Amino acid sequence: MRSIFIAGLAALAAASTASAQETTLRAVSSFAEGTEFSKNFERFVEKVNADGKGVIKINYIGGPRAVPPFEVGNAVRTRVVDMANVTGAFYTNLMPEADGFKLNGKPMSEQRKNGTWEYINQLHNQKLNSQYLARQFHNVPFHIYLNKKIDKIDFSGLKIRVTPVYKDIVEALGGTAITTAPGEVYTALERGVVDGYGWPITGIFDLGWQEKTKYRVDPGFYTSELSVLINKNTWDKLTPEQRAILQKAGAEGEAEAIGEFAKLNADDTERQSKAGIETITFDAAGAKRYLDQAYEAGWAGVIRQSPENGPRLRGFLAKPQ
Ligand code: 173
């Protein structure tokens, strides 16, 4: 009896050693597979799976058909998935401070050295039960796209599709903010439920929105944020070797992103103009006022939602004046 029990234990131990050797992580993206805001994550997955053979593997389940975008943060928190490609705008219900990541004015290389990464990682540990592995997007500004022309900086009478990224600026300029996931934007435009939408400079072609877009308001503001998060319990169980493989792929993603986006932004700007999308611009003073208002409304929103951590985050992220 006793020897059977011991043999059983030994078999169990052998099984767990085997699984410690190659761990498989389940991952999702909060954007559709193959599109602009998933592709850096998909590259990260390929790297991990190449470097991690026999040690760690990512099973990429896919985009919003697997988990709806606004639920991805909670899916990581509760370990429905081990890992996700997600933007803070999609989990402000759990971490209001995440709305501030769009207001970042400093490169990740600096954030890794000056305590910003540690601070943001702590917030993720506490509020999202997750580890903040890497931020893979830089310098991709957001814009407001419209189907009605405006001749002054005023969104009164306009219904504009938002996420938390654009809500404060749209409302500060008198517009009506309507929150939808990216997957609902095309239909909302087609049916006239909205007169426009917020979105980065890149990626509108992925889901065919150029067919339903007349104008882009310039200049762009803020900066898109996409990060790789991993559930904290999953992270804590990984071996140093497994963690190192994830960290290396994350660090490469952070470094590569810097050079890539200037070109992508320019390409998509030109492609929009070829698709017949006209720009709405203001004179220099007007453009400055628009940007000032965007940043003011943005930080005021973060601080209103998190009076305690908002000012601290601002200290870490805001561009030096
Ligand atoms: O859905 C969005 O407009 C949004 O918030 C976002 C954030 C980062 C990248 C792309 C879109």
200 lines ligand 1 (CB under 6 A): yes
What pLDDT is attached to residue 319? 82
Question: Is-contact 50 252, C-beta < 8 A?
Answer: no
Per-residue pLDDT tens, the chain, 321 aa: give them.
444 444 444 444 443 444 457 999 999 999 999 999 999 999 999 999 999 999 999 999 999 999 999 999 999 999 999 999 999 999 999 999 999 999 998 888 899 999 999 999 999 999 999 999 999 877 899 999 999 999 999 999 999 999 999 999 999 999 999 999 999 999 999 999 999 999 999 999 999 999 999 999 999 999 999 999 999 999 999 999 999 999 999 999 998 887 888 899 999 999 999 999 999 999 999 999 999 999 999 999 999 999 999 999 999 999 876
Q: How far is the CA of 238 from the centre of ligand 1 (A)?
A: 31
**Structure token pair of residue 196:** 């426009």
163 lines ligand 1 (CB under 6 A): yes
What is the distance between the alpha carbons of residues 294 and 57, in angstroms, rounded to a whole number?
Answer: 41
What is the distance between the alpha carbons of residues 314 and 168, in angstroms, rounded to a whole number?
Answer: 16
pTM of the shown model: 0.92
What is the distance between the alpha carbons of residues 186 and 39, in angstroms, rounded to a whole number?
Answer: 21
DSSP 19-62: HHHSEEEEEEESS-TTSHHHHHHHHHHHHHHHHTTTTEEEEEEE
Question: Is-contact 257 63, C-beta < 8 A?
Answer: no
What pLDDT is attached to residue 321? 64
Q: How far is the CA of 103 from the centre of ligand 1 (A)?
A: 13
Residue nearest to atom 4 of ligand 1 (CA): 163
What pLDDT is attached to residue 256? 86
Q: How far is the CA of 305 from the centre of ligand 1 (A)?
A: 19
Q: How far is the CA of 224 from the centre of ligand 1 (A)?
A: 7
198 lines ligand 1 (CB under 6 A): yes
